[in-house]
């Protein structure tokens, strides 16, 4: 006969969480299985088992276990938060928001949970909901972790002074918090009399940070050198960051080029499938730093449109549909080969259910996942009445803007000028392919044209989206909605042209990139 819950379960759970914290996920999973067998009426054991499966990326199983815990204890805030994590991992933001809203209604006093719900609302791109919880956490306990999270939310909300204060308070406690230095340096344009160059270069010279920290510090100080016109020093720091990241990243650009070439080969004609009939989605795509956030802000300022950020839903649902149909583990090339076998109407409907917000009042929504350019043909097959907008930018400006930016877990081709050039050529070929296959289904807009003739280009853009004209689209910088991209601060300013030719300050250093682009047939 098992010990009673009052004498055994709490000790067993403490031991189980200790095993999980040690990183032994397999053993923790076995402990979880034993506990739910011994104590099936105890919600804590189902919660523990669910958290363990989440740590092993068994998302469906984790969700089921956590829902069982919630059925036994529906008023447990921590259970709702972990359920929200599962939903986010599955790409279901609406379900995550539902769990977070339920947790919020229960009333949260724990500082740790206040911070956690704020972070999770932020991951759902609801900074407006995130910030009050993070502020309460900081008021109760101004530890660096909580201040950093608050500063990140303030940055996305455009509260620059607040973000700078939060980040500076973090650095005052821990000068070697490199990520905070990086974010603070990107908050605004610094001047010769107001910058952190000496401070950051001093940290680099001490040699006390790991390679990841060095990367962030080099990017940070490189950006501030650029701000004040020290272009040689700026490039040297950016190149040092890129080279360090390249050395520590297992990546070859040839894999990405094979994927793009296979897409061009296999998806060579307009689909005849009958997809979901909705005209709600507006897909804005293109290489990062090419103006996608600016266009999102312009279109999203329309009263009939809501911008939902960079959604991973289409790619995730496409892969799920292919793997469910084949029931096999497939590599990227196999996924492309089998992509035309899915039920496109079903794919479109599932995507729409995942993407659109609950109780959405607007008629249309924006999905600004940049790399949706890989899926244009499949998006058209799944949702033929959607709008697809592709951003283009001067190739040198586009590549340099990527080269000087630190991306987390994405765009690994951007850390080497040769990789960048080769990828840009392939991207160009893919977009030309989509234009040939899909014709007017794709609207191509050039960043430089938008900067040079804002009203004319904006009117064309709004017309393509099937919307009536609204003057608010010209005053996009007055839009107070949060933005979670690297351009979160720039889009709060009126259109400016200072970044159009910025790359020319580095023309000599970028000559190898220019040579590769020209060899690939890219003229500029």
Under 8 Å between Cβ of 416 and 474: no
Torsion sign, CA atoms 176, 177, 178, 181: negative
SS (H, E, C) 419-458: HHHHHHHHHHHHHHHHHHHHHHHEEEEEHHHHHHCHHHHH
* Residue-level pLDDT at 490: 56
The strand ranges marked E within 374-517 are 387-392, 442-446
Under 8 Å between Cβ of 239 and 221: no
466: left (phi over 0), alpha (psi -120 to 50) or beta: left
Take residue 448 and report the two structure tokens written for it.
């430089």
The Cβ of residue 233 has, within 10 Å, a number of other Cβ atoms equal to 17
d(CA 112, CA 289) in angstroms, rounded, equals 35
365 contacts: CB under 8 Å, gap ≥ 6: 280, 281, 282, 305, 306, 307, 308, 355, 356, 357
Query: Can you say how many angstroms the Cα of residue 318 is from the centroid of all Cα atoms in its chain?
Result: 18
| Number of DSSP helices (H) and strands (E) in the chain, helices first | 25, 5
End-to-end CA distance of the chain: 79
Under 8 Å between Cβ of 408 and 415: no
d(CA 247, CA 211) in angstroms, rounded, equals 10
How are beta strands 387-392 and 281-285 bridged, if at all? parallel
Task: Give the domain ranges of the chain.
Answer: 177-248, 253-519
* Residue-level pLDDT at 492: 47
pLDDT in tens, the chain (524 residues): 344 455 578 888 888 899 899 989 899 889 988 898 989 999 999 999 999 999 999 999 999 999 999 999 999 999 999 999 999 998 888 899 999 999 999 999 999 999 999 999 999 989 999 999 999 999 999 999 999 999 999 999 989 999 999 999 999 999 999 999 999 999 999 999 999 999 999 999 999 999 999 999 999 999 999 999 999 999 999 999 999 999 999 999 999 999 999 999 999 998 888 899 999 999 999 999 999 999 999 999 999 999 999 998 999 999 989 988 877 778 899 999 999 999 999 999 999 998 988 778 899 999 999 999 999 999 999 999 999 999 999 999 999 999 999 998 899 999 999 999 999 999 999 999 999 999 999 999 999 999 999 999 999 999 999 999 999 999 888 766 655 555 555 554 566 666 788 999 999 999 999 999 999 999 88
Q: pTM of the full predicted structure?
A: 0.87
Phi, psi (rounded to 5 degrees) for 391: -90, 135
Torsion sign, CA atoms 495, 497, 500, 505: negative
The class that CATH gives domain 253-519 is: alpha beta
Phi, psi (rounded to 5 degrees) for 262: -70, -40
Under 8 Å between Cβ of 20 and 49: no
């Amino acid at each position: 006969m098992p010990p009673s819950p009052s004498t055994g379960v709490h000790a067993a759970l403490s031991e189980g969480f200790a095993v999980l914290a040690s990183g032994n996920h397999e053993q923790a999973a076995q402990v979880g299985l034993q506990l739910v067998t011994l104590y099936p009426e105890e919600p804590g054991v189902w919660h523990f088992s669910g958290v363990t499966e989440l740590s092993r990326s068994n998302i469906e199983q984790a969700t089921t276990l956590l829902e069982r815990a919630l059925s036994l204890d529906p008023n447990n805030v921590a259970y709702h938060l972990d359920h929200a994590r599962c939903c986010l991992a599955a790409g279901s933001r609406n379900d995550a928001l539902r769990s977070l809203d339920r947790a919020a209604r229960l009333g949260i006093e724990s500082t740790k949970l206040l911070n956690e719900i704020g972070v999770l609302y932020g991951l759902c791109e609801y900074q407006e909901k995130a910030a009050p919880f993070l502020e309460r956490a900081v008021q109760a306990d101004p530890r660096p972790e909580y201040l950093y999270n608050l500063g990140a939310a303030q940055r996305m909300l455009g509260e620059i002074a607040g973000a700078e204060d939060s980040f500076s308070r973090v650095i005052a406690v821990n000068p070697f918090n490199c990520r905070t230095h990086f974010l603070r340096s990107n908050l605004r344009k610094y001047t010769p009399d107001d910058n952190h160059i000496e401070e950051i270069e001093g940290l680099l010279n001490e040699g006390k940070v790991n390679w990841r920290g060095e990367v962030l510090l080099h990017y940070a100080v490189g950006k501030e050198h650029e701000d004040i016109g020290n272009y040689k020093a700026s490039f040297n720091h950016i190149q040092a960051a890129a080279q360090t990241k390249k050395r520590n990243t297992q990546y070859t650009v040839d894999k990405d080029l094979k994927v793009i070439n296979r897409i061009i080969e296999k998806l060579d004609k307009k689909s005849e499938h009958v997809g979901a009939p909705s005209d709600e989605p507006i897909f804005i795509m293109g290489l990062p730093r090419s103006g996608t956030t600016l266009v999102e802000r312009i279109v999203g300022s329309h009263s009939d449109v809501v911008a939902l950020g960079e959604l991973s839903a289409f790619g995730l649902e496409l892969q799920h549909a292919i793997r469910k149909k084949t029931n096999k583990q497939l590599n990227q090339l196999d996924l492309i080969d089998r992509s035309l076998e899915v039920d496109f109407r079903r794919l479109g409907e599932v995507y729409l259910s995942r993407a659109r917000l609950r109780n959405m009042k607007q008629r249309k929504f924006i999905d600004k996942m940049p790399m949706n350019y890989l899926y244009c043909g499949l998006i058209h097959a799944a949702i033929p009445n959607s709008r697809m907008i592709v951003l283009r930018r001067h190739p040198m400006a586009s590549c340099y803007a990527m080269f000087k930016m630190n991306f987390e877990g994405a765009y690994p081709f951007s850390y080497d000028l040769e990789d960048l050039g080769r990828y840009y050529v392939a991207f160009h070929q893919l977009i030309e392919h989509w234009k040939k296959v899909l014709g007017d289904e794709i609207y191509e807009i050039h960043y430089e044209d938008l900067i040079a003739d804002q009203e004319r280009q904006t009117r064309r853009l709004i017309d393509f989206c099937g919307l009536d004209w609204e003057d608010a689209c010209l005053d996009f910088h007055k839009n107070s909605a949060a933005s979670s991209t690297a351009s979160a601060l720039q889009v709060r300013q009126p259109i400016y042209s200072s970044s159009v030719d910025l790359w020319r300050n580095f023309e000599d250093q970028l000559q190898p990139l220019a040579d590769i682009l020209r060899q690939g047939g890219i003229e500029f």
